[in-house]
């Protein structure tokens, strides 16, 4: 994918994906200081929201904190389930691209009515229902997206949570210029034809990987971009029985696969079912692999961008209008005022 070929630039979706490196490069982590200050004395922080505003941003930073023994490790839950929890002594931070997501606004209104005063919100739109419901807000710099599928906003939301927990844990924020360059390389990487054809003909596209938001977020984007059934197989779930209902033309994409489990995946999936199995990874694997420069602090962002790249190429090759969906909406469940 590139920003010089009309094959891509005719679509808002592609233009917004290709704007992501600049969003990363220009991100100011100090902008998250107010949110960090809001929740610094709570000890426990809940990250909430729906869909793309929660899956990658919240799960990525939770994984980072667990890997690096952060002093403050966030929890995450969808906003409706969070209604059932006692969050009275928690800091609660919510993200909504539109600022109009019904589930999040409902949760924040309930908490505010109960006297909660540690509510922070992240959105593109100021003067929205979300900003009216919080004690501290952060307005994203990426600006409004035209495409139904959220992309550049997902990356910036993730950086906001990353910056919040860097501050809370006394750590520095990684070099955004490096992150921007690596994401750009992943977006511009040529996707082999051998990857695209099986995806076009697939009944179901499965994404297997860590519960860090990457594979799960790409699963959602498959629904919105490629318009095919998709499923997220967390961890090693792909080797624990789902092969019973798979068919040969199902495709499994391994996101940064566990090297120790590759032989088992091969046995169950490519050898057992006859699936096409491909990988997106920083290294060679037992499967056809799209290699990306994803080591280090920006690994999940780069893997996400590589996943976008494959989906765009598949969607375009399938003759899909990437900006026009039949049922999916930009705001999945909009608040009624």
Q: What is the pLDDT of residues 237-257, one digit of tens each?
A: 999 999 999 999 999 999 999
Decide: 246 and 269 in contact? Cβ < 8 Å.
yes
pLDDT, tens digit, 9 for 90 and up, residues 114-171? 999 999 999 999 999 999 999 999 999 999 999 999 999 999 999 999 999 999 999 9
Mean pLDDT to the nearest integer, 25-31: 98
Q: Which residues contact 83 (CB under 8 A, 6 or more apart)?
A: 106, 107, 110
The yes/no answer on whether domain 190-291 falls in CATH 3.40.50.2300 is: no
Domains 6-175 and 190-291 share a fold: yes
Domain boundaries, the chain: 6-175, 190-291
Q: Check pLDDT > 70 for residue 98.
A: yes
Do residues 60 and 66 lie in contact, with contact meaning Cβ atoms separated by under 8 Å?
no
pLDDT in tens, 257-299: 999 999 999 999 999 999 999 999 999 999 999 999 877 789 9
Question: Mean pLDDT, the chain, as a whole number?
Answer: 95
Other Cβ atoms closer than 10 A to 36: 23
- CB burial of residue 226 (10 Å; 0-12, 13-18, 19+): buried
Under a CB-based contact definition with an 8 Å cutoff, are residues 116 and 102 in contact? no
Q: Is the dihedral of CA 139, 141, 147, 149 positive or negative?
A: negative
What are the Cα distances from residue 94, in Å, to 98, 127, 278, 325? 12, 16, 34, 26
Do 252 and 218 meet the contact criterion of CB atoms below 8 Å apart? no
What tens digit of pLDDT does each residue of 216-237 get? 999 999 999 999 999 999 999 9
CATH homologous superfamily of 6-175: Glucose-6-phosphate isomerase like protein; domain 1 (3.40.50.10490)
pTM across the whole model: 0.96
């Amino acid at each position: 994918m590139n920003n010089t070929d009309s094959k891509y630039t005719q679509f808002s979706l592609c233009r917004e994906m290709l704007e992501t490196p600049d969003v990363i490069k220009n991100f100011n982590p100090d902008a998250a200081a107010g949110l960090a200050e809001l929740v610094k004395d709570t000890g426990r922080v809940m990250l909430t929201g729906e869909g793309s505003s929660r899956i990658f941003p919240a799960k990525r930073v939770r994984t980072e904190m667990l890997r690096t023994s952060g002093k403050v490790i966030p929890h995450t839950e969808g906003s409706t389930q969070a209604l059932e929890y006692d969050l009275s002594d928690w800091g609660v931070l919510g993200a909504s691209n539109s600022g109009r997501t019904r589930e999040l606004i409902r949760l924040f209104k309930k908490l505010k009515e109960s006297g909660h005063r540690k509510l922070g919100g992240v959105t593109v739109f100021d003067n929205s229902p979300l900003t009216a419901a919080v004690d501290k807000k952060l307005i994203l710099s990426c600006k409004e997206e035209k495409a139904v599928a959220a992309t550049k906003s997902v990356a910036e939301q993730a950086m906001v949570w990353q910056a919040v927990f860097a501050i809370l844990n006394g750590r520095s924020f990684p070099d955004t210029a490096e992150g921007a360059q690596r994401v750009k390389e992943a977006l511009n990487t040529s996707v082999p034809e051998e990857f695209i054809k099986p995806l076009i003909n697939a009944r179901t596209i499965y994404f297997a990987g860590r519960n860090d938001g990457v594979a799960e977020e790409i699963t959602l984007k498959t629904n919105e971009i490629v318009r095919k059934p998709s499923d997220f197989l967390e961890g090693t779930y792909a080797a624990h029985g789902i092969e019973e209902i798979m068919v040969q033309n199902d495709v499994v994409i391994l996101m940064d696969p566990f090297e120790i489990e590759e032989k088992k995946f091969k046995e169950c999936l490519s050898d057992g079912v006859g699936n096409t199995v491909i990988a997106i990874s920083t290294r060679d694997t037992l499967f056809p692999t799209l290699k990306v420069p994803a080591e280090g602090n920006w690994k999940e962002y780069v893997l996400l961008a590589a996943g976008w790249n494959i989906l765009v190429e598949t969607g375009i090759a399938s003759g899909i209008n990437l900006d026009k969906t039949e049922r999916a909406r930009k705001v999945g469940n909009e608040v009624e005022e």
